[in-house]
Amino acid sequence: MAHAAATAADDIIAYLDAHEKKSMLRFITCGSVDDGKSTLIGRLLYDTKLLYEDQLAALEADSRKVGTQGEKIDFALLVDGLAAEREQGITIDVAYRFFSTEKRKFIVADTPGHEQYTRNMATGASTADVAIILIDARQGVLKQTRRHSYICSLLGIRHIVVAINKMDLVDYSRATFDKIEADYRAFAKQLGFQSIVCIPVSALEGDNILTKSANTPWHRGPALLPYLESLDVSKDGSAEPFRLPVQWVNRPNLNFRGFSGTVASGTVRPGDEIVVVPSGRRSRVTRIVAKDGDLAAAGQHQAVTICLADEIDISRGDIICAGKAPAEQSDQFAAHVIWMHDDEMIPGRQYLFKTANRIIAGAITELKHKVNVNTLEHMSGKTLELNEVGFCNISTSAAIAFDPYAHNRETGSFIIIDRRTNNTVGVGMIDFSLRRAQNVHWQDLDVNKLARAASKHQKPCVLWFTGLSGAGKSTVANLVEKKLHDLGRHTYTLDGDNVRHGLNKDLGFTDADRVENIRRVAETSKLMVDAGLIVLVSFISPFQSERRMARDMVESGEFIEVFVSTPIEVCERRDVKGLYAKARRGEIKNFTGIDSDYEAPENAEVTLDTSKVSAADAASEIVEHLKKNGYLG
């Protein structure tokens, strides 16, 4: 710590005062195997004199024993921590390192570069302000370089330093450097970084690390460390509106009620108007309480406790927002998900989602596409495996407050937890709400059939099952509903028998009552279609005219007639309810097929004979029909 000691030895009080005001920068280093990440970090630790003598002695001993640099010090040994890894000669997890200069304290996330460890890189990137991407000057921009850059952009890193390393091995060639810089900038254009700085370095020899190297007189930019010391990231989150995710309600006694949390963005002052999301309740900040005395203002990253003017209901999970710019809320989102576990992600399965301050149940309802992290191409897929990235639709059991991740890393991120093992199996970054009106705080004039259907990702319709008693209508309808439910669709079944127990229990079996029976069922299904549901109606409904009436009640394309055409002999043989026997004995009058006609549909959308196909196949056929015709979104 010689650099520090010089001043510390002379005037310790002045030293302490100066160092108290240092700012902080978190960065991540990423590169392929052998690009020299660990060597670079080791070099930074070494050059900023943050090694103690006993550490240095141990390093020299280790370098001779297992080092890869012959007689020279192997800096990588400083940062390759765990015993198992040291034997393999590679880092396998995320390690955090610290060093500081007179201007800044640095926290470095060191993450591995090989293919299977996307998850570790994402972990390191999630808290980093800056990424140093290492490129071996002899190799140029590789597949891995693209992958690392994409993951950095996905995780919201705005500043990139491209350290073109091992310049000593290409004779400090300017042409090599220029070509790699041009290649990189061309590729990175699509990633939307706020700044990209390319620096020619040799981590091993120390070129352009602390100071500009005489070996690269043509390099007009800064050396690495001075650049990291001067980069201003303080404004990155301060322009966003105020957000305080409430972590803990502070209630020591009846006279004090404060809301504790870490300011995710923006600033807050006593007197500010706030709105609580999701509840929409409004109030004003009265105090920002701290142990050493109230604060006049608080900003991003500060852990605060605030008090409000009104006794409104606020609990953990809520976000206190600037009154004029509330966060969004929704229970359905589109988000990018990075899968982090060996057990693949399965759409429809229930997971727990944890946001900045809340755990909520939910499911990934759909994998829209996967992203090839090397080429950025979209690919189709049914599941996500470890280290894969997908763009997904997510549905939670209740509305949560959020901001898009691009605007706010703190309020736009979540982790996914397996309900059985409690492992963190994935992470996500919210892109947008799937609700049409995104800023609606409690209601919207435009909630209509379309909106309700859109929120359910389906086109509502009536599946009208008609056919003889015992034809298999209810059995098939039941299976169809199960399948649709598994697909996350919203359904309801109106069954002849069930409806007659309730809604229609005043009706008998006269012709008039039969028509009224069908009319009520048709009206009910119309309401349900308006509610956005897929309605399954299972009624004998023997007459063309009644079915026509039901069809005409809903819009065209919303009525799907399913004719279960199982022949009467088969139905009578099955006679599950014993009705045919009774009818034959004359105990039931007007029994369809025996002493009352069944008018078979002429233009049914689907016709099925359950004496020829199994109920399961029949159900699949219907679901297929729905899919093909766009009912399932």
Partner 1 sequence: MNSIEELVSRAERLAERKDLALSTVSRKLLNDGKGINRLKSGGQLTMRTLETAFERLSALESADKPAGVTALNPQPKGAQMTAPLDEAAKGGADLISPQRMSHLDRIEAEAIHIMREVAAEAENPVMLYSIGKDSSVMLHLAAKAFFPSRPPFPLMHVDTTWKFKDMYAHRDRIAKELGFELIVHINEDGLKQGVGPFTHGSAIHTDVMKTQSLKQALDKYKFDVAFGGARRDEEKSRAKERIFSFRSAQHRWDPKNQRPELWNIYNTRIHKGESIRVFPISNWTELDIWQYIYRENIPIPSLYFAKERPVVDRDGALIMVDDDRMPLKDGERPKMEMVRFRTLGCYPLTGAVRSSADTLPQVIQEMLVSTSSERQGRVIDHDQSASMEKKKQEGYF
Which residues are known catalytic residues? Answer: 541
By CB under 8 A, which span of 87-95, 389-397, 524-532, 619-627 interacts with partner 1? 87-95
Q: Does position 452 bind partner 1 by CB under 8 A?
A: no
d(CA 326, CA 266): 12
The DSSP symbol for 327 reads P
Q: In the complex with partner 1, which residue's Cβ is closer, 327 or 536?
A: 327
Q: In the complex with partner 1, which residue's Cβ is closer, 133 or 427?
A: 427
Secondary structure (3-state) at 611: coil
3-state secondary structure 222-262: CCHHHHHHHCCCCCCCCCCCCEEECCEEECCCCCCCEEEEE
Phi, psi angles (nearest 5°) of residue 305 = -130, 120
Q: Does position 298 bind partner 1 by CB under 8 A?
A: yes
Place of tokens 């370095």: 201
Q: Considering all CA atoms of the chain, what is the largest pairwise distance in Å, rounded to the nearest integer?
A: 114
The DSSP symbol for 289 reads E
The residues, any chain, with a CB within 8 Å of residue 307's CB and separated by 6 or more, are: 256, 257, 258, 259, 285, 286, 287, 289
Please identify which residue in 281, 287, 520, 551 interacts with partner 1, judged by CB under 8 A: 281
Please identify which residue in 89, 195, 218, 248 interacts with partner 1, judged by CB under 8 A: 248
Binding mask 19-48 for partner 1 (x = CB under 8 A): xxxxxx------------------------
Torsion of CA 236, 227, 30, 101, to 10 degrees: -100
d(CA 574, CA 615): 14
- Please give the residues from 255 up to 274 whose contact with partner 1 meets the rule CB under 8 A: 256, 258, 260-262, 267, 269, 271-273
Q: Where are the beta strands (DSSP E) in 326-386?
A: 328-339, 350-354, 359-371, 378-379
- Taking only Cα atoms into account, the Rg of the chain, rounded to an integer number of angstroms, comes to 33
d(CA 325, CA 263): 15
Q: In the complex with partner 1, which residue's Cβ is closer, 380 or 443?
A: 443
| Structure tokens belonging to residue 487 | 């697909």
- How many positions of this chain bind partner 1 (CB under 8 A)? 108
Q: Does position 455 bind partner 1 by CB under 8 A?
A: no
**Shortest distance, position 74 Cβ to partner 1, whole Å:** 14
- Please give the residues from 574 up to 613 whose contact with partner 1 meets the rule CB under 8 A: none
CB 408 within 8 A of CB 264: yes
Q: In the complex with partner 1, which residue's Cβ is closer, 310 or 506?
A: 310
**Shortest distance, position 26 Cβ to partner 1, whole Å:** 9
d(CA 268, CA 543): 69
**Shortest distance, position 11 Cβ to partner 1, whole Å:** 9
- Please give the residues from 381 up to 420 whose contact with partner 1 meets the rule CB under 8 A: 409-410, 413-415, 417
Question: Which strand (E) or helix (H) includes residue 179?
Answer: helix 174-188
Q: In the complex with partner 1, which residue's Cβ is closer, 90 or 440?
A: 440
**Shortest distance, position 249 Cβ to partner 1, whole Å:** 9
By CB under 8 A, which span of 84-92, 377-385, 481-489, 512-520 interacts with partner 1? 84-92
Please identify which residue in 192, 252, 502, 578 interacts with partner 1, judged by CB under 8 A: 252
d(CA 219, CA 451): 58
**Shortest distance, position 323 Cβ to partner 1, whole Å:** 8
Q: In the complex with partner 1, which residue's Cβ is closer, 132 or 535?
A: 132
Q: Does position 194 bind partner 1 by CB under 8 A?
A: no
Q: In the complex with partner 1, which residue's Cβ is closer, 433 or 525?
A: 433
Q: Does position 275 bind partner 1 by CB under 8 A?
A: yes
- Please give the residues from 89 up to 128 whose contact with partner 1 meets the rule CB under 8 A: 92-98, 100, 104-105, 107, 119-120, 122-123, 126-127
3-state helix, strand, coil in the chain (%, to 5): 30, 25, 45
d(CA 324, CA 156): 25
Q: Does position 254 bind partner 1 by CB under 8 A?
A: no
**Shortest distance, position 579 Cβ to partner 1, whole Å:** 46
Strands 534-538 and 491-495: parallel
Please identify which residue in 139, 250, 374, 596 interacts with partner 1, judged by CB under 8 A: 250
**Shortest distance, position 33 Cβ to partner 1, whole Å:** 18
d(CA 94, CA 108): 10
Q: Does position 286 bind partner 1 by CB under 8 A?
A: no
Place of tokens 């490129």: 135
Phi, psi angles (nearest 5°) of residue 284 = -125, 150
The amino acid occupying position 578 is: G
Q: Does position 509 bind partner 1 by CB under 8 A?
A: no
Please identify which residue in 64, 114, 138, 284 interacts with partner 1, judged by CB under 8 A: 284
Please identify which residue in 33, 58, 142, 454 interacts with partner 1, judged by CB under 8 A: 58
- Please give the residues from 336 up to 355 whose contact with partner 1 meets the rule CB under 8 A: 340, 352, 354-355
The DSSP symbol for 594 reads T
By CB under 8 A, which span of 9-17, 136-144, 476-484, 616-624 interacts with partner 1? 9-17
Binding mask 318-337 for partner 1 (x = CB under 8 A): --------x-----------
**CA dihedral for 420, 422, 427, 432, sign (positive or negative):** positive
The residues, any chain, with a CB within 8 Å of residue 110's CB and separated by 6 or more, are: 28, 29, 37, 38, 41, 79, 91, 94, 95, 96, 97, 124
**Shortest distance, position 156 Cβ to partner 1, whole Å:** 10
Q: Does position 171 bind partner 1 by CB under 8 A?
A: no
Q: Does position 79 bind partner 1 by CB under 8 A?
A: yes
| Structure tokens belonging to residue 533 | 């549901």
Q: In the complex with partner 1, which residue's Cβ is closer, 269 or 577?
A: 269
